[in-house]
Amino acid sequence: MCVTCGCSDDANVTVTNPQTGEHTHVLADGTVISHSHHHEHHHNHSVATENAQLHAKMHGRTVTLEQNILAKNDLLAAQNRGWFKGRNILALNLVSSPGSGKTTLLARTIQDLKDKVAINVIEGDQATTNDADRIKATGCNVIQINTGAGCHLDAQMVEQGLQQLNPPLNSIVMIENVGNLVCPALFDLGESAKVAILSVTEGEDKPIKYPYMFRASQVMIINKIDLLPYVQFNVDRCIEYAHQVNPHLKIFQVSATTGTGLEAWYQWLGIRRVR
Amino acid sequence: MHELGITRNIVAIATEHANGYPVKRVTLEIGKLTAILPDSIRFCFDVCSQGTLLEGAKLEIIEIPGLAHCRQCQTEVSLEMPYGICHACGSSDLEIFQGEELKIKELEVEELCV
């Protein structure tokens, strides 16, 4: 018997939907339970075979786990967070769609703050070391993580990256996640903040299209504002959408190419770093 | 397709707790405000469980409805997405307290009585 809803799964019970074997229950509090029962295993009770006798001695024991599926990642992320804290390192997780200008913004930031603070970078991409090469050209230390089939970085990858990167005390570590606005929202890396980057060549409604990511972020950077005269992108509406999803989101409008608006972003980095 | 990675975690955690016995049933709790599709988990589960103690196990998914408190007026608001507007005061400053669950609630393992 199913301990959750009380339905029985004995061999003689008929299945609600013979195509999928799936059925749904709605409990009094609105909770929906949908599940399928497998009935491929038929018992032949008329002939008591050895197997059937053995099977009769089998019984189901329920093990209560209540375990968070991402517990392992969350634990490693907490360890990373402690590692950063002990070294007074500001770690930021940069997330965006592919092509928003993350790497350009990063290269520019490193270049402009070169004399003030050491910035080291962990680059996440499915393949190639192209981004790491671009960052390396600025003179900073960089580790490339290729996730292969994976669509996001996880805390373990970052932990391994950090061991090789060995960033100095009182510095900044920028983690450039795989270009993807869905999956990275779920995986804590141990960062101080997630920074979502959105460019004006994308849709202004991205914050409500990908609410999980914009809700999980503390900062949103609207990049490529130098292109505003050439594109249909309503900045005010974008900010409105973003605050609808996350009223506490800190928003910067910049152009990583021309340098417009970067000063405010650098100030924020400075304030976060001394904290 | 992060559901594949999530499902691998589910299979790994369940296998660890099954102590070598075949698993008959796995019950998950998935909040409606997580970016996880139960149907994708189901699809991945059949693939990921092959050749493990979980092969053929029944997968039960309990979907938990999204609920938040309005930070302005404390009204309880039910949510379908991880954001929304308080129906009482119109604020979008909501604190989600239910619907972000992502856990294995329990397993049923098949043991031999002696």
CB A245 within 8 A of CB A218: no
- Please report the ipTM that was assigned to this predicted complex: 0.82
Kindly indicate the confidence band of residue A190, based on its pLDDT and cuts at 50, 70 and 90: very high
Kindly indicate the confidence band of residue A273, based on its pLDDT and cuts at 50, 70 and 90: confident
CB A112 within 8 A of CB A262: yes
Q: What is the DSSP letter of B65?
A: P
Q: Distance, in angstroms, between B22 CA and closest chain A CA?
A: 10
pLDDT for position A237: 97
A211 in the same domain as A262: yes
pLDDT reading at A23 higher than 50? no
Overall number of domains in chain B: 1
Q: Which of A35, A38, A51, A239 to mutate to test the interface with B (most CBs of B within 10 A)?
A: A35
d(CA A105, CA A85): 25
CB B106 within 8 A of CB B28: no
Residue B76 counted as domain residue: no
Query: Beta-strand (E) ranges in chain B?
Result: 23-31, 58-64, 66-70, 76-79, 94-98, 102-112
A89 in the same domain as A7: no
Residue B34 counted as domain residue: yes
CB A125 within 8 A of CB A103: no
pLDDT for position B35: 84
CATH number of residue A231's parent domain: 3.40.50.300
pLDDT for position A16: 31
Q: Distance, in angstroms, between A259 CA and closest chain B CA?
A: 33
Beta carbons of A212 and B113 less than 8 Å apart: no
pLDDT for position B88: 96
Residues in chain B closer than 8 A to A9 (CB atoms): 58
Q: Distance, in angstroms, between B27 CA and closest chain A CA?
A: 9
d(CA A76, CA A72): 6
Q: Nearest by CB to A66, from B9, B83, B103: name it.
A: B103
- Residue A43 contacts by C-beta under 8 Å, 6 or more apart in sequence? A11, A52, A55
pLDDT reading at A102 higher than 90? yes
Residue B71 counted as domain residue: no
CATH number of residue B42's parent domain: 3.30.2320.50
Residue B47 counted as domain residue: yes
pLDDT for position A275: 57
Q: What share of chain A in percent tops pLDDT 70?
A: 79
Q: What is the DSSP letter of B75?
A: -
d(CA A215, CA B83): 8
pLDDT reading at A120 higher than 50? yes
A59 in the same domain as A109: no
pLDDT for position A35: 56
Q: Nearest by CB to B107, from A37, A65, A212: name it.
A: A65
Q: Distance, in angstroms, between A207 CA and closest chain B CA?
A: 11
Residue B39 counted as domain residue: yes
A141 in the same domain as A75: yes
Residue B87 counted as domain residue: no
Beta carbons of A58 and B102 less than 8 Å apart: no
Kindly indicate the confidence band of residue A194, based on its pLDDT and cuts at 50, 70 and 90: very high
What is the identity of the amino acid at A55?
H
CB A135 within 8 A of CB A105: no
Nearest CA in chain B to A245: B83
pLDDT reading at A37 higher than 90? no
Q: What's the domain range around B18?
A: 2-65+99-109
Phi, then psi, of B76 in degrees rounded to 5: -85, 130
pLDDT reading at B71 higher than 60? yes
pLDDT for position B65: 97
Strand arrangement of the beta sheet that strand B76-79 belongs to = B76-79, B66-70, B94-98
Residue, of A237 and A183, whose pLDDT is higher? A237
Residue, of A6 and A234, whose pLDDT is higher? A234
A138 in the same domain as A53: no
A83 in the same domain as A60: no
Residue B26 counted as domain residue: yes
Residue B7 counted as domain residue: yes
A86 in the same domain as A167: yes
pLDDT reading at A36 higher than 60? no
CA distances from A140 to A100, A106, A109, B12, B111 (A): 22, 11, 11, 38, 57
CB A106 within 8 A of CB A94: yes
Q: What's the domain range around A178?
A: 71-274
Q: Does B90 touch chain A (CB under 8 A)?
A: no
Kindly indicate the confidence band of residue A212, based on its pLDDT and cuts at 50, 70 and 90: very high
A48 in the same domain as A79: no
Overall number of domains in chain A: 2
Q: What share of chain B in percent tops pLDDT 70?
A: 97
**DSSP secondary structure letters along A143-210:** EEEE-TT-SS--HHHHHHHHHHH-PPTT-EEEEE--S-SSGGGT---S-SEEEEEEETTS-TTHHHHS
Q: Considering only CA atoms, which of A142, A83, A85 is closest in space to residue A118? A: A142
Q: Nearest by CB to B109, from A60, A154, A183: name it.
A: A60
Which of A64, A80, A96 lies at the terminal end of a domain, its last residue?
A64
A167 in the same domain as A110: yes
pLDDT, mean of residues A174-180: 93
Residue, of A183 and B75, whose pLDDT is higher? B75
A89 in the same domain as A59: no
